[in-house]
């Protein structure tokens, strides 16, 4: 892949969990989230990964909330949009797909397997759902971001690629430190990366992030290994120990400085579209 001096920076401003009682700075309404995303875009972010909340601040897959957020962002900047398909546990399969089907972002998340979540519940991504998701994303021209919480999930992606249900060059997001998934340790990331290389050669792109206190170690390690990165309050609300970030843009600005020290730069949204082959139309399938 060209553009080896370019780093794609995703910002995940809201996520499903932090509440105002955790941090007063987390954006929850469509207006708050759009304002925050625009600030992150001004600071240089490439992609916005979007979740929405209901009026009580709980995670939601409400289409109106997604539409309001997406419209507000699109009217003000050209950041690449990546909508979640996992905004809350126990949501019906079809509800999880509606936002990307209706709003046609260039990307959406694809959680590539089921896992126990925090020893309390099941984060369910059944084979039936994942197959429907793969087919629908391709029909809609939405590139999946394969969120990898555990090593077996890479093999699930390889299965759908072999079946010709997904695009030829998958994009992975290594999610490290989720309760029930791989821990936020560099050796976890290395194993995932090696697994991708063994199976796909250089025919993939990847990004990584650590949750909570794993945020900075994984960020630095991913940048050192040529990966892309994600920041934001979905994953981590502290700028440093004991100090809440006052906006998501603070994370973007710090990452921009770090990337500059490595003599690289953050990819603009346009460069990101080129690097990830975002087309806004049905993509080339692996076996087509
Ligand atoms: Zn998310």
What proportion of the chain, given as a percentage, has pLDDT over 70?
Answer: 96
For residue 36, give the 3-state DSSP assignment.
Answer: helix
Q: For tokens 């509800």, name the residue.
A: 95
Ligand 1 centroid, distance to 270 Cα (angstroms): 22
**DSSP-based three-state secondary structure for 122:** strand
**What pLDDT, in 10s, does the model give residues 253-270?**
999 999 999 999 999 999
What's the rounded Cα separation, in Å, for the pair 119 and 48?
Answer: 29
Round to whole Å and give the CA distance between 269 and 278.
10
**The length of the chain, given as a count of residues:** 288
Q: How many domains does the chain have?
A: 1
Residue 281 lies in a domain: no
Tell me, in angstroms, the distance from the centre of ligand 1 to residue 49's CA.
Answer: 6
Domain carrying residue 78: 6-276
CA–centroid distance, residue 113 to ligand 1 (Å): 15
Distance 198 CA to ligand 1 centre (A): 27
Contact between residue 251 and residue 11 where contact means Cβ atoms under 8 Å apart: yes
Distance from residue 178's CA to the centre of ligand 1 (Å) = 12
Give me ligand 1 centre to Cα 146, in Å: 11
Tell me if 283 is assigned to some domain. no
Give the pLDDT confidence score for residue 2 in this predicted structure: 47
Q: How far apart are CA 245 and CA 122, in angstroms?
A: 30
Is residue 285 in a domain?
no
C-alpha of residue 200 to centroid of ligand 1, in Å: 25
Tokens of 15: 């996520």
Mean pLDDT of the chain: 94
| Ligand 1 centroid from CA 30, angstroms | 16
Q: What is the pTM (predicted TM-score) of this model?
A: 0.95
The band of 87, judged by pLDDT with boundaries at 50, 70 and 90, is confident
Is pLDDT of 281 > 50? Answer: no
The string of pLDDT tens digits covering residues 122-179 is 999 999 999 999 999 999 999 999 999 999 999 999 999 999 999 889 999 999 999 9
Is residue 16 one of the residues assigned to a domain? yes
In a domain, 288, yes or no: no
How much distance in Å is there from the Cα of 15 to the middle of ligand 1?
Answer: 5
**Cα 220 → chain centroid:** 18
pLDDT in the model for residue 283: 44
What's the whole-number mean pLDDT along residues 91-119? 96
As residues whose CB is below 5 A from the ion ligand 1, the structure lists: 84
For the chain, give percent helix, strand, coil, nearest 5.
40, 20, 40
- pLDDT higher than threshold 70 for residue 286: no
User: Is 125 within the bounds of a domain?
Assistant: yes
Residue 86 Cα to ligand 1 midpoint, Å, equals 7
Q: Which residues contact 95 (CB under 8 A, 6 or more apart)?
A: 61
**pLDDT tens profile 229-256:** 999 999 999 999 999 999 999 999 999 9
**Structural domain contains residue 191:** yes
Task: Give the span between the Cα atoms of 10 and 118, in whole angstroms.
Answer: 25
DSSP, collapsed to helix, strand or coil, labels residue 125 as coil
pLDDT of residue 285: 54
What stretches of 97-195 adopt beta strand conformation (E)? Answer: 107-111, 115-117, 121-123, 143-148, 171-176
| Cα 76 to ligand 1 centroid, rounded to whole Å | 22
Are 151 and 196 contacting, i.e. CB atoms less than 8 angstroms apart? no
Distance 32 CA to ligand 1 centre (A): 17
The CATH number linked to 214 is 3.20.20.70
- Position 162 in a domain: yes
**Higher pLDDT, residue 288 or 61:** 61
Strands (DSSP E) found in the chain: 6-7, 9-12, 47-50, 52-53, 59-60, 80-83, 107-111, 115-117, 121-123, 143-148, 171-176, 205-210, 228-231, 238-240, 243-244, 265-266
């Amino acid at each position: 892949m060209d553009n080896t001096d370019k780093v794609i920076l995703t910002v995940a401003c809201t996520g499903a969990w932090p509440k105002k009682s955790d941090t007063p700075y987390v954006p929850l309404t469509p207006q708050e989230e759009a304002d925050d995303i625009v600030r992150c875009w001004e600071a240089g972010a490439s992609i916005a990964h979007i979740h929405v909340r209901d009026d009580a601040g709980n995670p939601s897959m409400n289409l109106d909330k997604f539409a309001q957020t997406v419209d507000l962002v699109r009217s003000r900047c050209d950041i690449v949009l990546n909508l979640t398909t996992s905004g809350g546990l126990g949501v019906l399969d079809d509800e999880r797909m509606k936002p990307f089907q209706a709003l046609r972002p260039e990307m959406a998340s694809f959680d590539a397997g089921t896992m126990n979540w925090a020893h309390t519940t099941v984060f369910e991504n059944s084979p039936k759902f994942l197959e429907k998701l793969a087919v629908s994303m391709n029909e809609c021209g939405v590139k999946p971001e394969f969120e990898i919480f555990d090593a077996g999930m890479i093999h699930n992606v390889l299965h759908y690629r072999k079946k010709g249900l997904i695009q030829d060059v998958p994009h992975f997001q290594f999610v490290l430190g989720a309760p029930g998934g791989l821990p936020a340790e560099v050796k976890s990331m290395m194993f995932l990366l090696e697994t991708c290389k063994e199976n796909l050669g250089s025919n993939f792109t990847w990004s990584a992030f650590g949750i909570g206190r794993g945020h900075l170690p994984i960020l630095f390690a991913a940048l050192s290994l040529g990966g892309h990165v994600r920041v934001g309050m979905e994953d981590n609300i502290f700028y440093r120990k004991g100090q809440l970030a006052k906006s998501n843009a603070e994370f973007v600005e710090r990452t921009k400085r770090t990337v500059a020290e490595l003599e690289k730069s953050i990819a603009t949204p346009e460069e990101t579209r080129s690097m990830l082959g975002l087309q806004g139309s049905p993509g080339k399938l692996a076996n087509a």
